[in-house]
Structure formats: structure tokens, C-alpha cells
Amino acid sequence: MVKIIHMADSHLGYRARRGVINKWAIENYSKPYEQEIYDIFLRVIDEISNLKDLDFVVHCGDMFHLPSENSSYPPPEPARRTLKEGLNLFFKQTNEKVPFIYIEGNHGVFKGYDYTPFESHFEKEIYPNLYYFKERDLINAIKSNSPLSLEFKVKKVRFYLFPYFEFNAQESYANAYDNWIEQQRPPKNDNYINIALAHGSNGDNTLHNKVYSDDFGYDYVALGHEHGLKAVSKNHFYTGSLLPMNFKEVYENQGYLIVDLDDKSKNLNVNKVFINNLLKRRFEVVSIDTNPSQTSKDLETLIMNELTACITKEGFDYKTSARLKFNFSGEITFEKNWQINELMSRIRREIFSQPEKYNILQIIWNISDISEQLEDDISAGIIEDFILEKPDEEFRNFVNEKLTEDKTNFDLNKLTNFGMQAIKKALRVMEKQPEE
Ligand SMILES: [Mn+2]
């Protein structure tokens, strides 16, 4: 039996930014939500390094949140210290016997540069059992038409490595990647366990179809990039991040996976460990229905009803303070729009000036006019909400209903897959817009 811990998307250094109270978790050091991610990261490292018979830890990218496409700042000092502390703890508690394998994602890398914060802002060399792979390693492998893999002969385990690379950005890259990918195909009837580690997603064309496919020959595919913990096929898994980053991710699970593979049968047993359960704060989207006849006072009462639930004797606490997003919907006139913005700005100012009373970290809001939705009922907002629940199941029911009316012989599962792919592609555009 081979036991592997699969983690990804830790995003150390992430800070909630928009509409947050100006408070520290640790004075002049770290911000509230940022600190919570550090605490949970160290807790997870402690937990996994005490696991019995652990063979490998794989981390599938985005260890650091920064730099990112929109920001060239390096990871903040507390993020670097947390990783250092985490790895020190891990290698100490495992007596340096367990390899920790990391591939870079799209976060925590300087776009366009060959070095990453792992090299410029962190001493990875001091860890003898840390294996590290970045985009440059992948490009070199493609150029020399050789595999990018890592073999452990005693344990008979082979890892195929796919750090984040936008191979679809240019046709010449796509062709080169297409040709090279055959180098990453595991041998047939091999007595090794073959595992792929990839940072990428089928939804935004950053995961190659062959890696995404069940037929390429991997016994397990450990994925990073999508922030929800989920299986995408019988042996393809995302672990998600440690905690939800934004209001879209609140409705997903996050955690890590304990993967057991039988060396003979290659049978897979995946144990999900949910970390988002540890979240002690209220983190939610609050819906408020509006109508033109509502007075400012009526509206304020509705909002304050939600906020009074956050009044505590102890006041602000970085571990439990709420992150709230108000969604105002209904018939929104210009006047109503102005009224809501004015009201919310004032309420937020007042709440944030009383941290001894309100335990609230973030208040943001969104206003959507019902008439826009009526005119265009496939507006992004609606699809997005639809996606959040159980997209595959709901979409399947929808297609089923349509096809039953239609009385033709379409393949329901195929159509569902096509539809899901189309929706995911459409959502790509929206996912690129950061929402916090
Ligand atoms: Mn990513």
C-alpha cells in the first residue's frame, strides 16, 4: 500500500481586500483572514506529518497567493515564514523520510521570469526531501522531448509532473505540448504506480485533454487550480484550497485528500478531509429583496437585522469576524440604486467604527435589477448561481426534461457533458474577475 497526501492551492499570503475593516490579526504583521490561512496550513502540516505509514506528500501548486497575474509583489514575509515553519515541522516530524513534492501553479510566480519566490524569497535548498518543479522545468522537458517525471525505485512509484503552463496561449506552444505529452504516457502493464500531478483545469484550457482523460494510464491524477474539493472522475481529484477565498467559494468544500493505492491491484481509496468545517466565522451571501415602494428606513431595518446578529460582548475577533456580501435584487430604479449605495456606505462606516461592538471583518454588496434578468435570462449572474449548487445534476435534469418533451433519441450524458463544458467555458471570463 502506498499512502499519499494530496494538497493544493494553499494561497499563503491571501488577504481579503475589498470592503474590509482596517484591523490587524497580529499588529503590524498579518491581516485577519490571512492569519487564519497560516494557522490552518500549520495545523494541516502538523496533522499529516503525524500520519502513520505516510509515503509521499504532493502539493499541486499555488502555495503562495502572490505574485499573481495582477500583482507583481512577492509573497508577504508572514507567508514565507509560515511555509518555512511548515516545512521545518513536516521534515522534523517525519524524520526527513517522507518526500514533499511541489509543482508551481499560476499564483506565487513572477510572470515572465525564470525564477520564482521559491528561489528568490525562500531557501528551498535546505530541505533535502523537497522536490520542486516549475514552468521552466516543463519548458526544458518539452524542448528536449523528454519526460518530466520523478521515480522512486524502492516504492515503485512514478510521478509525472505538470506545473502550470498556458500551452493554449499560442498555437506553436499547443502543438509542441501535444507532441511532448506522449512522453508523459506511463508504460503499459507497468509494475509501478503512476501518478500525475497537475496544476490546471479543463474549464480554462490549462489541463491537457490526455491528462484529463481516464484512458491515458495514470493510476491517480492529483490536481490543483480549482478551489473546491471534488472528484472529476474515478481517479482525478481536486483538493481545493484550505479555506474559501471569496463568496463564490463559500458554497464549495475545501480540504486535503488521503490517497491509498494498492501496489498490486492499483486500487484506489480516497479519504476526504474537509478543512472548511473549521471556519468559525459567518461567511455568506445575504439576499435582500427590494421594491420601489420600500423606504430607506424599511431597507435599513432589513440590513440591520442581519448585522445585529454580529454584535458580541467581546467585539472584533479576527478568528470569528463575519465576511458578508449583500445581494440586493428586485426592481432597481436609479433612485433605488443610489439609495442602497448611500445606505450601505454609511452603515459600513458606522459598523467599522465600532469594533468593540460588531464582530465583522468585511461588508460588500451587489445590486442586480430584476428587469435585466427578465430580458436576458441567461445572464451571467443566473448561470453563476445555478452553477453553485449541484451543476451536473441540475443541468442533467434540465436536459432530461427538454429531451423528454422533444421525444428524440439524444444521448443524455453526452449532451450534459457538452453543456457543462460550454457553461464552464462561458464562466472562465467571469472567474478571471477577482471577487472578494
Ligand atoms: Mn491556480
**Cα(227) to centroid(ligand 1), Å:** 8
**Cα(90) to centroid(ligand 1), Å:** 24
Indicate the residue type of 188: K
CB 115: neighbour CB atoms within 10 A? 12
**Cα(200) to centroid(ligand 1), Å:** 7
**Cα(279) to centroid(ligand 1), Å:** 22
Contact 49, 93 (CB under 8 A): yes
**Cα(408) to centroid(ligand 1), Å:** 41
pLDDT means per 10 residues in the chain (436 residues)?
A: 98 95 96 97 98 98 95 95 98 98 97 93 95 98 98 98 96 96 95 97 95 95 97 96 96 97 96 95 96 91 96 96 97 88 96 97 94 58 52 72 69 79 69 54
End-to-end CA distance of the chain: 42
3-state SS class at 231: strand
**Cα(166) to centroid(ligand 1), Å:** 12
**Cα(63) to centroid(ligand 1), Å:** 9
What are the structural domains of the chain?
2-278 (3.60.21.10), 283-374 (no CATH), 376-431 (no CATH)
The tens digit of pLDDT for each residue in 233-266 reads 999 999 999 999 999 999 999 999 999 999 999 9
**What is the C-alpha separation between 434 and 363, in angstroms, rounded?**
16
**Cα(198) to centroid(ligand 1), Å:** 10
pLDDT of residue 417: 80
The tens digit of pLDDT for each residue in 21-42 reads 999 999 999 999 999 999 999 9
**Cα(13) to centroid(ligand 1), Å:** 14
**Cα(246) to centroid(ligand 1), Å:** 14
**Cα(351) to centroid(ligand 1), Å:** 34
**Cα(340) to centroid(ligand 1), Å:** 35
**Cα(349) to centroid(ligand 1), Å:** 34
Among the residues of 258-379, which ranges form H helices?
296-308, 334-352, 370-375
**Cα(62) to centroid(ligand 1), Å:** 6
Distance (Å) of CA 131 to CA 104, 119, 126, 409? 11, 13, 11, 51
Helix (H) or strand (E) holding 369: strand 360-369
**Cα(135) to centroid(ligand 1), Å:** 13
**Cα(107) to centroid(ligand 1), Å:** 6
Question: How remote is the C-alpha of 205 from its chain's centroid?
Answer: 16
Residue closest to 291 by CA, chosen among 329, 264, 263, 325: 329
The pairing of strands 220-224 and 236-238 is parallel
Maximum CA extent, the chain: 74
3-state SS class at 430: helix
**What is the C-alpha separation between 344 and 326, in angstroms, rounded?**
9
**Cα(358) to centroid(ligand 1), Å:** 34
pLDDT of residue 376: 53
State the SS3 of 113-147.
CCCCHHHHCCCHHHCCCEEEECHHHHHHHHHCCCC
pLDDT of residue 323: 98
**Cα(51) to centroid(ligand 1), Å:** 27
**Cα(251) to centroid(ligand 1), Å:** 18
**Cα(238) to centroid(ligand 1), Å:** 11
Beta strands (DSSP E) in 155-282 are: 157-162, 193-199, 220-224, 230-231, 236-238, 255-261, 268-274
Residues 6+ apart with CB under 8 A from 347: 300, 303, 304, 307, 363
pLDDT of residue 386: 47
**Cα(225) to centroid(ligand 1), Å:** 4
Distance (Å) of CA 393 to CA 235, 386, 396, 398, 416? 20, 11, 5, 9, 9
Sheet with 220-224, strands from edge to edge, namely 149-152, 157-162, 193-199, 220-224, 236-238, 230-231
**Cα(9) to centroid(ligand 1), Å:** 7
Helix (H) or strand (E) holding 425: helix 412-431
**What is the C-alpha separation between 223 and 271, in angstroms, rounded?**
15
**Cα(394) to centroid(ligand 1), Å:** 27
pLDDT of residue 228: 96
**Cα(66) to centroid(ligand 1), Å:** 11
